[in-house]
A and B are shown apart, each in its own frame.
Chain A
Amino acid sequence: MGNDSWAIAAEDLRKYYGQTKAVDGITLRVKEGEIFGMLGPNGAGKSTTIEMIEGLRAPDSGTITVLGLRQPQESRAIKMRIGIQLQTTALYPRLTVTEILDLFHTFYRGRKTLPTDQLIEMVDLGEKRTTRSKELSGGQRQRLSVALALVNDADLVFLDEPTTGMDPQARRQLWDVIRNLQQQGKTILLTTHYLEEAEQLCDRVAIVDHGRIIEMGSPSELVHRYFSEIAISFSDPAGADPYRSLDGVTHVSVEDGRVTLYSSDVLHTMGGLLGRQNGGGVGTALRDLNVHSATLEDVFLKLTGRALRD
């Protein structure tokens, strides 16, 4: 498949700031109509990557093709067809929601734009349409920022941590908006550090750490690739060592006093665990016992040795 048939084809992107390798050789291909997520902790290089693809930052090296157009030569044509939501929401503080959206319409002359009312409806800012942007709450401002990315009915939408600062209800609502965009045939590239968001929304995710992609695939693919096991987690300040020898345990991790056992034979592992508990042999008590299939969180933990937190 040539680069033209991908919504995004980025080859070997690099961006160094002095000694810091913000992006250190990222290659990324996003299919048309797909929701692609870049997942990683703050400072992993997600935003720098996305901004290079958008054309807001020049890479030190690497090539980028967006919707069949090349960066940076065809940057303006690209900007006409993409929608961008920036991580830091920057707006005219004294203009109202409606005024800002109306203003942004005029930047896309010659392209069909979505009516302001419809945009306001989509991000549920109906009650705030005459509110000045500086008086909006963080979550509302974030929603306005998403609406601005949709003004030009973009073929490809970039969302950089779109749900940061939103309450759970608003977050779910935005997920619906994003799914709806996909149904309209749009491609979405988003970054997030919410694993749940990536699992819920993304067709494929790339796990990014230290400026590199360390794993890529659909969420379930990744989970299966790394975990055929079931995860059993509980709190034990004493640590994981006493549990390593239990039947079926293949792998153990500890994070903030929380022990997670990955078991290929959950019945035997649980049996052993409960038996020891009754015998008083190990630990104190199995507080907050939780048994679940592995998630992206577990994959991330396994790959980076760190938890990905809000």
Chain B
Amino acid sequence: MVTIRNLYIASIKEFVRDRAAIFWTFAFPLVFIVLFGVIFNGGGSPNYTVGIVNEDGGPVGQALASAFKQVSSFKVQNGSRSDELDKLKKGQVDMVVVIPAGVSQSVTQQQTATVDLYDDPSTGQADTQIKQSIVQAKVSEFNKRATNTVPPLALQSNSILTHQVRSVDFLVPGILAMALMQLGLFGTATPLVTLRQEQVLRRLGATPLPRWQLLASQVLMRLTIALVQTGLILALSVWAFKVQIQGSILAVLALVILGAIAFISLGYLVAAISKTVDTANGITSVVNFPMMFLSGIFFPLAALPLFLTPIVRALPLTYLGDALRQIVTGGTPVFPMWVDLAVLAAWAFVCALLAVRLFKWE
């Protein structure tokens, strides 16, 4: 244990004294959060202009329309269907909600009525899910009250959502996932190949040091970095953007560790198949790029074209992002949690197995 501890301390020192490494692991994700947070949030909660078309003359339509009016992030304007849809096309409103004629009647007759939602996903894809989920929440809240209370018209909706989904809430888990992935790729593969290329591994191999102890110290060191990254990212999000962390800290940490192990294993695999630092850099970039944009870490997966679905589903980052979003900010699941965990564990296992088989120390 003393040997592992000393190797661990040595590798932490190596890392801390490498300014470039510090920047890419710690500063880079934080810059991302600040950048996206400010762009999408304007520093506060998002504001959407919503056109409400109330074609229902009855009380239910009225109640719904006023319920939307009370959503703090919605700026509501009323108009005819054609006017509002026209404005949506011109980008003057972000979304149109149409309450068709006869809703009140349907509700009183215990029949399901439909509320139509029009959205232009090309304008702000990250926002689409947020807007929709707010409307969704509103409608289901309405439904709940409608089925429980005798007069659905008595709706007095002041409370909105216990937890309001905003852009930054969507982004923070995504950026955390990105940071863990990049720790595994750039923070593992390249340094490891450098150690091999500069024959540090060879020199260590000339001592009685067992290899597993070196490996253990390196993995522990990277897990430490992952936890520090997580701490910094979440602290900044809570402090600067008032992100509320929904899940327990323990669950977040456990998931971060699982995710980090999966990507560190991937990093070891890349190091195993790369002869030179240049190859390692090339492979990590090739792996990094699709994950950044096809794993739904910056925008909802629903915004991606369908033909990309097989790729999306093949990327481990998709599952880490989804799981983190569920736990950290209580986001809508894309996959059940157990699927996310199982896929990450499988990636970790397979990559580690291949890395152990293929890794060359010299």
Contact = CB atoms under 8 A, between A and B. Distances in A.
B205 interface: yes
Interface stretch (A86-94, A214-222, A272-280, A297-305): A86-94
Contacts of A267: none
Interface residue range, chain A: 20 to 34
A90 B17 contact: no
A86 B208 contact: no
B14 A86 contact: no
B13 interface: yes
Interface in B1-21: 2-3, 6-7, 10, 13-14, 17-18
B10 A108 contact: no
Interface string B29-47: 0000000000000000000
B248 interface: no
Interface of B is mostly: helix
Contact of B202 (A90, A107, A108): A90
Given A92-B14, A94-B14, A132-B17, A79 B6 contact: no
Nearest to B9: A103
Contacts of B198: 90, 93
A188 to B, nearest CB: 16
B18 A94 contact: yes
Interface residues of B, number: 21
B205 A109 contact: no
Interface in B191-214: 198-200, 202-209
A92 B10 contact: yes
Contact of A103 (B6, B202, B208, B362): B6
Nearest to A88: B199
A99 interface: yes
A94 B191 CA distance: 13
A289 interface: no
A90 B209 CA distance: 16
Nearest to A111: B208
Contacts of A88: 199
Interface string B195-236: 000111011111111000000000000000000000000000
Contact of B207 (A79, A92, A132): A79
Interface of A: 54, 56, 76, 79-80, 84, 86, 88-95, 99, 102-104, 106-109, 132, 148
